[in-house]
Each structure stands twice: as structure tokens, then as C-alpha cells.
Amino acid sequence: MIRHPAFTIEPWALREHRLDLGVLAQTESLFALSNGHIGLRGNLDEGEPHAEPGTYLNGCYELRPLPYAEAGYGYPESGQTVVNVTNGKVIRLLVGDEPFDLRYGTLHQHERVLDLRAGTLTRTAHWSSPTGAPVRITSTRLVSFTHRAIAAINYEVQAVDRPIRVVVQSELIANETRTAASGDPRAAAPLRSPLIEEENVTGDDGLGIMVHRTRESGLRLAAGMWHEIEGPDETLTEGRGGDDVSRLTVATHLSPGQTLRVVKLFSYGWSRRRSRAALHDQVAAALAAARLTGWDGLRAGQRRFLDAFWDGADVEVEGDDEVQQAVRFGMFHLLQSAARLESRPIPAKGLTGTGYDGHTFWDTEIFVLPVLTYTYPPAVADALSWRRSTLPLARERATQLGLGGAAFPWRTIHGEECSGYWPAGTAAFHVNADIAHAVTQYVDALDDAVFDRETGLPLLVETARLWCSLGHHDASGRYRIDGVTGPDEYTAVVDNNVYTNLLAQQNLRAAADAAERHPGPAGRLGVTEEEIRTWRAGAEAMTVPFDERLGVHQQSEGFTQHALWDFDATGDRYPLLLHFPYFDLYRRQVVKQADVVLAMHLRPDAFTAEQKAANFAYYEALTVRDSSLSACTQAVMAAEVGYLDLAYRYLGEAALMDLADLEKNTMDGVHMASLAGAWIALVSGFGGMRAGGGRLRFAPCLPAGITRLGFRLRYRGSLVCVSATREATTYRLLDGPPITVLHCGERVELGEEQVTRPNPPREEPDRQVRQPPGREPRPR
Amino acid sequence: MIRHPAFTIEPWALREHRLDLGVLAQTESLFALSNGHIGLRGNLDEGEPHAEPGTYLNGCYELRPLPYAEAGYGYPESGQTVVNVTNGKVIRLLVGDEPFDLRYGTLHQHERVLDLRAGTLTRTAHWSSPTGAPVRITSTRLVSFTHRAIAAINYEVQAVDRPIRVVVQSELIANETRTAASGDPRAAAPLRSPLIEEENVTGDDGLGIMVHRTRESGLRLAAGMWHEIEGPDETLTEGRGGDDVSRLTVATHLSPGQTLRVVKLFSYGWSRRRSRAALHDQVAAALAAARLTGWDGLRAGQRRFLDAFWDGADVEVEGDDEVQQAVRFGMFHLLQSAARLESRPIPAKGLTGTGYDGHTFWDTEIFVLPVLTYTYPPAVADALSWRRSTLPLARERATQLGLGGAAFPWRTIHGEECSGYWPAGTAAFHVNADIAHAVTQYVDALDDAVFDRETGLPLLVETARLWCSLGHHDASGRYRIDGVTGPDEYTAVVDNNVYTNLLAQQNLRAAADAAERHPGPAGRLGVTEEEIRTWRAGAEAMTVPFDERLGVHQQSEGFTQHALWDFDATGDRYPLLLHFPYFDLYRRQVVKQADVVLAMHLRPDAFTAEQKAANFAYYEALTVRDSSLSACTQAVMAAEVGYLDLAYRYLGEAALMDLADLEKNTMDGVHMASLAGAWIALVSGFGGMRAGGGRLRFAPCLPAGITRLGFRLRYRGSLVCVSATREATTYRLLDGPPITVLHCGERVELGEEQVTRPNPPREEPDRQVRQPPGREPRPR
């Protein structure tokens, strides 16, 4: 919990009006800037104090051995972990004889503002040194959306009431000391000095370039900086390089009111293959291009890029300013994680921290990509192209596991499986169906035949083949998928997990459909009519376990016969996984995160309304939400089955996961899936938005706390704006061809005119739902 | 496979008439000597060449960290591993200027004989040094059954045809270099220099004592030696100590035919609590006592001890000399592993090697103790007293796991759980029922009220309490035990494993019976009538899954609906665990080792004859015997359901597991459970012996290869000798009170007269059984 966030609630910014070093770690994550290629944690310019200094390049990782007390066949031997690369955001300041360090002297004022439309982090400070000399400092930082390899800082220091001598030291620094490792398995593996210096060129003209190589993974990375300095005439500048550091020193005297301004442009590149010289030139070239654009040009480009984004992606929430802020904050971070991927993955924490070792998981496909599909689709094509590019590794992994097709990794940076605990890793084969789901949803929304053929088809075919080798028809002809783990990580290695089976069914059908749409390319992938028949037969006979006595689906076969978890004896020992052994969690009815409930969201066609209501109530009582991936799904299904107030609470949890540090690990980075969850809870929950079969459907229904909900989304070339009040919903076509959408089942033709339809009345169901004691969502 | 064993088949010895360095590792295990307290691998006297130098003290272990790629709550953080302690069996020899080393010079003759009645390992060698000087060497080694802390060597070297100068160096040496670690998870964790020297006293009088401490576990151990030398008058002796070595040097000139004789007595002690001085004195005192007895006295004591053992334990196998030798070899090693435990465990490899880290497992209770119960019961009382002594640790572990009662470790030396892979470790809770089974069987056979009350009762009560916390009554009242692992390690974390449930049922009933037999002591353990009712209710309603369609028991719920293993695609990739991932093994019908079949052996009352036949055939086709714990059980049940030839083949496999190195890991130590299995296959298999409810039952039926089977066993104070031919069985009471036994269901009163009864005819059943292709047992 961020106890003293000192955040103000405003619609288009995250503003911290008072510095609290106790939550520095969390604010470093919240204020992180990224464009999906470069990520900078919101560290203070002067480098210290810090919780976790962090500069990341998407895809750039170091290897570490994965040890096992008892090894087994097929266990991954080495893991990939995100590297804190050369830090280019350090600008140190000496005021008189005293270093500018907030732990000393007097801080009169301090503000940090993340501007969601400008795409900048601006900091202002008014500080007096221990000897009393006051300065005003303003820095504005950005990671450019338009120059992929560039970040920039505009740093200004001003004398206040007396002349002062100031020295600014702007640095590139590698192999920074890291904080100590924690015992929490969700944190990252610590790495000591992972970078080996290969080149260090530092000039007095403001240019500095360093090339390093990672010790084990052998990746090469270059960082460069260039400076423009405005200050008094008598200003000394000197560049000097040392071990793992390139430093430009700027010394001057400032009269009261006078300002020294340093514009720092910095640039990154990394490669597995390119030479030292090539990488050096690459960052130098990026700097040259950025110099051409200039600081003002970078800022302007940033705003234009974001204006275009918000035009197609904004969500308006009237009546709840906190959620309004949170959902935009979330969309901003989502965009930051994905904007300039260019065939790299979206990690669970984006590039905002080292949580989960910087790995990408299934939640990208199931939570993040669906949002981007309707708001920023190029990123989805990028992310799925990355999956496509790892197909050879996934096929190799399948072969190693004795399976057909491709087995995508549970967690990875580069594509190899990095999971060190197979029951909650390798066995969670649903990741493959999740990728297929993201493909299917993207193809439905974009109707992009080239993607469908070049990227979607091979992904669908190879994942369908995996299911054929994992599943089998039993003696009575039913198709079973045994011994796998579904989304709920408190139940593992089970037979016929509903979620897995329903998504595998969808996967098999989608592969068959895609192969029939593209018979030529499918043929080149070796797909035969016989194989397509096999896929359809498996899908047709798929087992979906149902408990007739209770009238609910069984999360997996036998699940509802297990003992119930003893919540009364649990006290506040959450998350359970840190207090109870897996064996105890696995053998009882306790659910970490939405599983059947997620299946109901993603496969609405597979459940009757009565089943949805019964399942929701049953699993609600068992679900402890020890994962950030749960609240938004519970919001969606709570809204669908009629519990609007409960849905509203879950919306709050999803939206405030990071702003309120609900899982107490925002310090390791923000939770991309939960940030996406705010959109999902609003749009799919209260907007009732579902898509599929070339059709957008809505069923808006607002909770008491929201007076109007507006959102925009793109579907098959049309940009649709939906604005719902409690009584009615207005649909507008903002761009693109006319489109027909469904409003609560009724066809609405959208052309030039906006259309308003009343929302049918909804009543809270009679059935009471309850959560495990103490796990009720926070009231809003 | 031992390709060139050079072993002769003889009834009372294991004789190797030619040295083959290629199988040195295996013969070091086979020729190991032990009394259950001290274990000496069969290393050559001169120390080198060796495969694995090994000297072990039961219970003396070092700690090593257990690493995890992804840690979890309740995972053991450190493991215990058997330490190669101070080596006292080294006697080096210099002949002229050349060290006696079999890799050099000419070996004219070499023989090693393990004498199963004398309890000695005798070695003779006729060797010429590289310069041509011939010597004859004879050494006889023993680990005393009568002096627990003492081992001894009688070492003689004789000049042959010319005068020679010889130097004998007799040593205590600590921290010997070990062989490199293998990748096989069944091998031991390597330790480097685990011992820290605390004291080294070496005198010229032949006495040497060293005290060491283990680095991490902080155990103190002392080793002492004393020598008696007979040789020419002009013989120099000198003692000298160095780092980790105490050495007595004996130099002399030998004329042709003249002999130098060195008798070496050596002694060990270890303690967690006793001081350096106390341990020093302890081994010095043991040496003094052994000097009093003398070499000849030690040898005589050894033979008397073994004569008494064989009087009550011998098995005669006429018609199959190989099995005759093997079963005696096995019984000898069983005795060696257990004779002088005095409240220590019996490790899976005894004290013959470092396999499985020197840990004890459930197989001690299920395979080893049942044999010793009827042949050497004091060892059973010792081994179960050790379990009793670890109850506080087992209760602590249960608490950590959120369970009631006691959770005994899957693998351990000292009592703490050391399993680093919980699905095949901690989750195998059946170990608790296995301990209860051993208690129940011992109490039935011995009728020992003191043991029953002091040792059996607390073990039964605390294990019953564990089952009550693991199990629950479901909505229809059935008692379920979910999420545990049974004996078959190719299926893990399942619901209602038949074996586990049936043994837990027996455990619950035995605890209730014991508590009712001893109401006072039970009351002091907190047992109430209500608790006893709970135990009986759980036992009564125990779930035993059965597949009505197939007419067989399901190894665990849903097992028979899983896909069959694809044996055709498996080729020779056995053991499967080294070639296939766990997830694939777990989700299919493939069985590592007898599971339902073992349940049928241990709980004959729980199955009808038809179920036994159907289950045996069904599981026979799925069982790959990748564990040494399977063949003997398959032999027993094959014999019971009528496949005598098949049973005979399984007998051969169990009996020759180590002599033929069938699992290719005899180098790590002999397989105690499989050695016990030879007895089990003969006595319980072809003898049809079962016991329980105060009654011994037999149903002899011999395979074609065995013309007569004789065995002796103790039951309730009576020593019974059974001698079966194909046609008839003769029962004799050798000692103790008259007893009634059952011969094929018919009561036979045994008093002074021997009784002969015809064996009813048995016919091979019509049902064909088959094994997975390529996994048929070897023909005999």
C-alpha cells in the first residue's frame, strides 16, 4: 500500500506534490517512461537516493543458471533475466561545495508530474544546500515514441537569491550497484556486473559512447549521449571516460535568476549479431537524427503521437475521478510497453522494473493484447510477430517434451522456456491457446489477410498440433486433455481444466478455419484435410467437466469433490503461496485467480446464462485474488451476471493495483495486465463489449458510482465512440466505413448520424455471492 | 550389467577369482562390509585404484544447500548427505622400491571371497613388482557384529622366491578425494573436504586417533587404530601424523617364505553432543576392548553371530544355484545393514555406497523390515525406534505443512525432510502408512507388548492423525485423500490412490485398535474416544476407486481414463524418467513400479481373487519396472494369481539386481529393498506366506526351476521351518512353543512332530498377461 502517495487526482496526469522517500521504489515504477524498446525507471536525475536504478532495453537479457535440488528431464538449465543496462539518465549537480542530494539540505518544494498527453515526466525542485544556497531545478524527461532509440532530458538549474557556483555532471554509467535480492520468488534474480566494457569514447564536445557486452548471454549493447548547453559565457565543459562511465562535466557561476540549461539526448542499441563498430555507429546515427529533430521537435512529436493515440483509445469515466485517472494512467503505460516493440515481447511489467525477471507470460496475450487490439493494433501485430519469430524454439521445445507442433514457453524473454517449476510453468500449456486466442481476436478485429496468412496461420496450426498431441479420445470417444495446469495456479497438473479445454477447442477450430481460408500456405505447412478433420473432431468431442449435483462446471475433473480450503484458519496469511505448501493448495478448493470465470469471459458462447450465474457465485466464494490477473475478469463477469456494485469494486482493484500498490510489489514494476484490466473492466464489464464473428456487441450498464462511461475503439477500420449513461447509450462513428454493432442484442447501424438507444433495465440477481472472508474487494 | 563378473556360483560365498578393474565400482559395493553402524566399501587395501573410496557411519551426515530455480513455501532448504568418513582400511605396501599397485607389475593371481558364514572378506594376491620381485598378499577384513565400533584387518605379506624389502603403511586418512558427480539424480551430492581436523594423536606403539568435525552439520567423529605386528626381528615401526592422516610405517626384510603380519583394529565413534575428549576416549576404549578379544576372538564371534542368524533365517533353493547364492547374499547384506543399528535408520543402500545420498526411504519399512521381522526382529525394533525418536521432527514438519499428527520425511538421514522435488517427495505421504504397516506387522509377529505401547502406539496415533488432516468426507460421505502421490512415481499428486487409501485405512484401524489396547498411554497422547471414532469412520468410508467398465481398480481416480503410454515409440529409452518429462509420464497410463499390485500384496483382504487376477493383468501391461522396488512384488502377485513362470523370472530379477547390476547403479551401493525382495519373492511368492491377525499362512507352489524351497522364520516365539517340493510341504517346529499355521487354508498344528501336507494342484490361468514391449523380465 502506498501510504502517503501525495498524488493528486486529475484527469490527464499523475502528479506527486511532495517527495516521500519511503515510497521511492513504487514511484520509480509509476513514473517510468518507455516506448516499448527503451525503458527508464523514474529514478531521480541525480542517481541517488534510489530504490532500484533501472534502464532496460526490450529483449536484452543476461543468462543465469537455474538450479534444482533434484533435476529432471526437460527442466530448463538456464534462465534469462532483464539487465539493467547503461544508465543514461544520470545528471548530478554540485551546488557550491555540496552535492544535490535530497537526503541532505532543505527541500522547500518537490513535484513530479507524469503528463499523459505530453508523454513527459517533469520534475521541479526548490532546494537549499546544507550551507543554505538555494537552487531551483527543473527537468523534463521523455522516451521518444517517434525516435525509437532516443530518450532525452531537458535539465535546468537556476540560482535563486544569491550567486552560486554549480557543476553538472551528466553520465552514462554501466554496472550500477543493485539492491539486495529479496526472498519473494516474484522478484528478479540479482545480477552482479553483467556488462563487460568493449569501448568508451568520451569527447569534450558533449558526445559520449560506450559499448558493452553481456557476460553470459553475449549480447552487445551501445549507449550514446549528446549534450546541448546553454549558460553563462564563462562555462567550462569537459568530457572524460573511465571504467564503465562516460561523463560530461559542466561548471559555471550563476547569478540570481540565471539558469544553466543542459539538453541531454541519449540513445541505445543492442544486438546479438552486430559488431562493436556497427553498434557504435548505430547509436551515433540515432543521436544525429535526434539532434536534427531537437528537444522541441522531440516534445512536439511526442504530443502528436499521443494525441493520435488518445483519439482512438480514450476512456471517459464521469462520476469517479480516481478511476478516470487510473484508466488513462493504465492506457498510457500499456502504450509505453508496446508502442515501438518491433518484434519484441511485452513483459509482464513492461520496461518499468525487474519483476518476474523481465519475462513475458500468457497475460500479455489474454489481458494486454485484447485491449491494444481495439486501441493500438500495430502493437498487437508486433507482439504476435514476435511469437511467430520464436516458433522454431517452440517447436524444438515441443520435440524435447515429446509433443507435436509448438510448445510456447510459460515465461521467457528470448523465446526459450525459463520456468524453473514445471507444474506451474511448462504444464500451463494454455499459454498456447492464449496465443491462438489473441491471434483470433486480432484477425477478427482487423480483418488483416496478410497477418492472417503470414503470422496467424502458422501460430494457429502449430498450437493446434500441440493440442492434438496433448489430448486423446477416451474409450467413450470424449476428447480429454490430462495432466495440465490452468490459469488458477493454486491447482496444478489436473485433467480437463475447463479453461484449457475451451480455449484449446477454440484453437483447434480457429486453426481449421484458417487452414481452410488459406489452403495454399496451409498445405506448405503440411496441413492435410485429414489433419483438419482431426482438429475438428477433437474440438467437437472436447470434455468440459460439469458437476450435475451442484449445477456448476468443475474447474477441472474432480475439483468440486475436493475439500474446501479452511478460510477461517487462514487469518491474514495472504498471498497463500507464501504461507502454505503447494500440495495443500492443490488438493483443496481454493482459487488463486479467475479460471472458470475467465473461461466465461473469453468463451461466452460455451455457457448458458444460468451456468454463468451459478459458476460465478460458486467460484467467487473460492477465489482469493492472490494474482493481479483476477480482479478485472471478476469485474467483467460480475457485471454480466448482474452484480454491478461488486463489479465496480473489482474495477477499483484492477485500476488501482499500482497506484495504490495493492499487491505490495509495484516497486518491481507496474502490472501491465492489471492496468489493461481497468479498460477491460470498464469496456467489457460496464460496456458489455464482446467481439467475434465480425461483430461488435455492447450491453452497457453502469454502476451507481459512474454517471457516464465513454470509450472509443477501432474495429475493422471503423473508429466507434460509445457513450453510455445509466439510461441510454449513444453510438457514433468517428472514422472509417459504416458499421453495424449490437446494442443489447439489437442491431444498430452506424453511419454519419449518432444513434442513441435506451439501456434495458437490469436487476440485481436474488442469489447472494460472497468472497472468502477477508478477501472481499475494497468498497468504492 | 556386470559383463565379466568372474564370480563363481557357490552356496555360501561370493567369490571373484579374477580382478576386473572395469567393474571395480560394482564389486566395491558387493564386497562391502557393515554391521549397520560402520560400513566399509570393498576397496582394495592399498587404497588405489578405487572407484569410490567409502567408509560410512550410520547417521553421520553433512549438510548441503538444496537450491531451487523457483522456491516455494515448505521446501527443505538443506539436504543431508552421507559423509565418507576417515578411512581406516588403507594398508599400503612398498615392495623393494615399487608401490604395490595392481595397475603396474604383473598380477599372477587375485581372488576376493565374501564368506557369508564367516562374515569376512578375504583377498589373496600373487603379484610381481615391475622389477620382478614376487609377493603373496593375504588380507582378511571384517566389520564386527559383536564389537559395534570395531573393524579389523589381518594383513599378511610373504616373500616368494627371493629376499625382499617391504614397507607397510597403515593409515587413517580423512577427506579423501571423491569421484566426480554424475548427472544421474539417483547418485549422491559430492562433498569436498567435509571434515575439519580437531585432533591427531599418532604414536610409534601402533596407536593412532584422529578427531574431526563436519563442516556444516557440526557432527564430531573420531577414528582410532591399533596394530599388532609379527615379523622378522629386525622390523622398524614408526608412527607419524600429518594433515588428515595418521600413519604407522612398518619396514622389514623378508626371506623367501617369510611373512610379515599386521593385525589392524580400527574403531569409530561419532556424536552430535559429545566432546572431543569424550570421543577420543570412546574409540580408544573400543580399541582396548577389541585388543582384549583379539583378532581370533573377533573372527570367532563373527561366526557365532552368523551361525545364530542363519539358524533362524536361512533359505534353501534347490534346483537354482544362482538364486540360492543370491538370496543368501541378500540376507547377508540385509543383516549387515541392520544388525547393530541401535536407533539409527536403514538407508536404501545400507552402508555400501553413497547412492540416494545415504537416505532412508519408505522401502525400508515396506521391503526390508518385513523380512527382518521374521528373520532378525531386533533390527526391526531398532529401526522403528529410530522412527519413534524422530517423531518431534515429524510433528514439526506436519505443522509446517498445515497438517495434524506427524509427517515423516520422504527421504532423510537424521529425520528432517530432504526431498527437493515435492511431487515425488513430500506428497508421497504413504510413507506414514508404510511405517504404520511395519509397526503392525512387527507387533503381529512378535506380540511384544512393550514395543506395542512405547513405540508402536505413538507412531500409529500420530500417523493416523496425519490421515485425518489429509482426508475428508465428501458430500456423499465417502472418505477421500486428495492430491497425494502413491508408490508409482510416474503418476503424482493424484486423488484417492488405491495403495495410499488402503494403507491409510489399515493405519487408522491399527491406531484405533492400539489405542483401545492401551487406553492409559493413549489417553496421555491425547487420544479420546471421539478421535478413535473419527479414525474408524474414515477407515470405514475410505474411497477405493474402481473402473466398472474395465473391472479393475483405478490406481488413482481417473487413472484408467488417461491415454496409454506409447511404448512403441519409446524404443530403449529406459528408465523413462531420464528421457521424458514428468508431465508426460504423469498424464498417461504408465507405471514405474508396483502400486495397485503392491496394495494387493500388503492388503490381500481388500481384493477378491478375480480382482487380483484382473488388476494384475491390467497393470502388468503398464509397468515398466524402472524401479528396483517392483520385481519382487510382481513375483509375489504373479505367483498368487497363478503365473509361476513369470513369478520365477521376477524372482530372478529381484535376486540378481546387484549381482548382475541390472539397474546399472550397483556402483552407488547395493539395493537393500531388492535384496530383501529375493526373500519376499521366494517366501511370500512361492511359499505363499502371509501373516496377520496372529496367524501364519502358507500356500507353497514351486516354479519349474525350483525343486525344493526351504525357509525358516520366527513368529510369536516359534521358529518354523518350511520345506516345499512341487508335490508337498513339510512343516517343522525348530524352537519355541507349538504353533498353528495354515497350509493352503488348512490348519496345521506344529509341535514336536513334523507335518507334511500335499500341495493342491494349480493351473496357469487362461488370461494372457504381457508386459510393455521390451520390458519382459529376463527368462530364467
Q: Which residue of B has its CA nearest to A70?
A: B420
Q: Who contacts A575 (Cβ-Cβ below 8 Å, separation ≥6)?
A: A592, A624, A626
Q: Where residue A192 falls among pLDDT bands split at 50, 70, 90?
A: confident
For residue B115, tell me if it sits in a domain.
yes
Among residues B489, B620, B640, B663, the one annotated as catalytic is: B489
Radius of gyration of chain B (CA): 27
Taking 80 as the threshold, does the pLDDT of residue A179 lie above it? no
Does residue B473 sit at the A interface (CB-CB below 8 Å)?
Answer: no
Rounded average pLDDT over A577-603: 97
Rounded Cα distance, A271 and A415, in Å:
16
Closest partner residue to B70 (CB to CB) among A421, A474, A584 is A421
Active site residues of A: 489
- For the record, the C-alpha cell of A650 comes out as 473489482
Q: Are residues A221 and A351 in the same domain?
A: no
Q: Are residues A101 and A239 in the same domain?
A: yes
Does residue A181 sit at the B interface (CB-CB below 8 Å)?
Answer: no
Domain final residue, candidates A278, A311, A344: A311
For residue B557, tell me if it sits in a domain.
no
Percent of chain A clearing pLDDT 70 (strictly above): 98
Domain final residue, candidates B544, B566, B595: B544
Q: Are residues A138 and A276 in the same domain?
A: yes
- Contact residues, chain B, for A411 at CB < 8 Å: none
**What is the per-residue pLDDT for B100?**
96
**The domain that contains B470 carries what CATH number?**
1.50.10.10
For residue B750, tell me if it sits in a domain.
no
Q: How many domains does chain B have?
A: 2
Does residue A693 sit at the B interface (CB-CB below 8 Å)?
Answer: no
**What is the per-residue pLDDT for A189?**
61
Domain final residue, candidates B544, B559, B594: B544
Rounded average pLDDT over A573-579: 95
Taking 50 as the threshold, does the pLDDT of residue A1 lie above it? no
For residue B327, tell me if it sits in a domain.
no
| Mean model confidence pLDDT for chain B | 95
Q: Alpha helix locations (H) across B314-342?
A: 321-338
Chain B: nearest CA to A474, how far in angstroms? 6
Q: Are residues A90 and A109 in the same domain?
A: yes
Across the A:B interface, residue pairs with CB atoms under 8 Å apart total: 162
Q: Do B495 and A402 touch (CB under 8 A)?
A: no
Q: Are residues A294 and A331 in the same domain?
A: no
Closest partner residue to A558 (CB to CB) among B495, B549, B587 is B495
Q: Are residues A714 and A759 in the same domain?
A: yes
Rounded Cα distance, B239 and B246, in Å:
8
**What is the per-residue pLDDT for A593?**
97
- Contact residues, chain A, for B420 at CB < 8 Å: 68-70
Closest partner residue to A583 (CB to CB) among B422, B549, B562 is B422
pLDDT in tens, B610-666: 999 999 999 999 999 999 999 999 999 999 999 999 999 999 999 999 999 998 999
- Contact residues, chain A, for B71 at CB < 8 Å: 183, 185
Instruction: Give just the sign of the alpha carbon dihedral A602, A604, A608, A612.
Output: positive
Q: What DSSP string runs through B443-494?
A: HHHH--HHHIIIIIHHHHHHHHHHHHHHEEE-TTS-EEE-SB--S-TTS-SB
Closest partner residue to B421 (CB to CB) among A70, A475, A495 is A70
| Mean model confidence pLDDT for chain A | 95
**What is the per-residue pLDDT for A6?**
78
Give A613-616 contacts, CB < 8 A, sequence gap 24+: A613/A641, A613/A642, A613/A765, A613/A767, A614/A550, A614/A551, A614/A552, A615/A552, A615/A553, A616/A641, A616/A643, A616/A769
Q: Are residues A298 and A335 in the same domain?
A: no
pLDDT in tens, A751-775: 999 999 999 998 889 899 999 999 9
Q: How far apart are the first and last CA of chain A?
A: 16
Chain A: nearest CA to B603, how far in angstroms? 26
Q: Do A563 and B79 touch (CB under 8 A)?
A: no
Rounded to 5 degrees, what are φ and ψ at B590? -150, 135
Rounded Cα distance, A482 and B359, in Å:
33
Q: How far apart are the first and last CA of chain B?
A: 16
CA-nearest of A32, A283, A58, A228 to A143 is A32
Q: Are residues A202 and A303 in the same domain?
A: yes
For residue B661, tell me if it sits in a domain.
no
Give kind and range of the element (H or E) at residue B638.
helix B631-641
Taking 70 as the threshold, does the pLDDT of residue A562 lie above it? yes
Q: Are residues A336 and A262 in the same domain?
A: no
- For the record, the C-alpha cell of A713 comes out as 475503439
For residue A329, tell me if it sits in a domain.
yes
pLDDT in tens, B311-332: 999 999 999 999 999 999 999 9
Q: Are residues A251 and A335 in the same domain?
A: no
Q: Which residue of A has its CA nearest to B66?
A: A69
Percent of chain B clearing pLDDT 90 (strictly above): 94
B489 noted as active-site residue: yes
Task: Answer whether A324's CB lies under 8 Å from A38's CB.
Answer: no
Rounded Cα distance, B190 and B196, in Å:
17
**What is the per-residue pLDDT for A193?**
85
Task: Answer whether A636's CB lies under 8 Å from A298's CB.
Answer: no
Q: Which of residues 409-448 of B touch A (CB under 8 A)?
A: 419-423, 425-427
Rounded to 5 degrees, what are φ and ψ at A468? -65, -30
Instruction: Give residue A286's domain range.
Output: 32-65+75-180+189-311
Residues paired with residue A94 on neighbouring β-strands, in sequence order: A99, A167
Chain A: nearest CA to B651, how far in angstroms? 30
Q: Which residue has the higher pLDDT, A185 or B233?
A: B233
Q: Who contacts A242 (Cβ-Cβ below 8 Å, separation ≥6)?
A: A200
Q: Count the Cβ atoms, other than its own, within 10 Å of residue B728.
A: 13
Q: Are residues B47 and B180 in the same domain?
A: yes
**The domain that contains B129 carries what CATH number?**
2.70.98.40
- For the record, the C-alpha cell of A358 comes out as 523481465
Rounded average pLDDT over A50-70: 94
**The domain that contains A696 carries what CATH number?**
2.60.420.10
Q: How many helices (H) and strands (E) does chain A have?
A: 19, 35
Q: Which of residues 64-83 of B touch A (CB under 8 A)?
A: 66-76, 79
One-letter amino acid identity for A725? T
Percent of chain A clearing pLDDT 90 (strictly above): 94
Does residue B344 sit at the A interface (CB-CB below 8 Å)?
Answer: no
**What is the per-residue pLDDT for A178?**
61
For residue B604, tell me if it sits in a domain.
no
Q: Are residues A329 and A222 in the same domain?
A: no
Q: Who contacts B169 (Cβ-Cβ below 8 Å, separation ≥6)?
A: B90, B91, B92, B93, B94, B247, B248, B249, B250
Taking 50 as the threshold, does the pLDDT of residue B444 lie above it? yes
- Contact residues, chain A, for B482 at CB < 8 Å: 558, 561-563, 587-588
Taking 90 as the threshold, does the pLDDT of residue B571 lie above it? yes
**Residue B103 Cα distances to A230, A332, B129, angstroms:** 83, 75, 10
Rounded Cα distance, B84 and B177, in Å:
10
Does residue A607 sit at the B interface (CB-CB below 8 Å)?
Answer: no
Taking 60 as the threshold, does the pLDDT of residue A294 lie above it? yes
- Contact residues, chain A, for B581 at CB < 8 Å: 72-74, 400-402, 422, 426
Interface with chain A: mutation pick from B68, B70, B77, highest number of A CBs within 10 Å: B70
Q: Where residue B762 falls among pLDDT bands split at 50, 70, 90?
A: confident
Taking 70 as the threshold, does the pLDDT of residue A90 lie above it? yes
For residue B17, tell me if it sits in a domain.
yes
Chain A: nearest CA to B608, how far in angstroms? 26
pLDDT in tens, B34-71: 999 999 999 999 999 999 999 999 999 999 999 898 88
**What is the per-residue pLDDT for A290?**
97
Q: Which residue has the higher pLDDT, A266 or A131?
A: A266
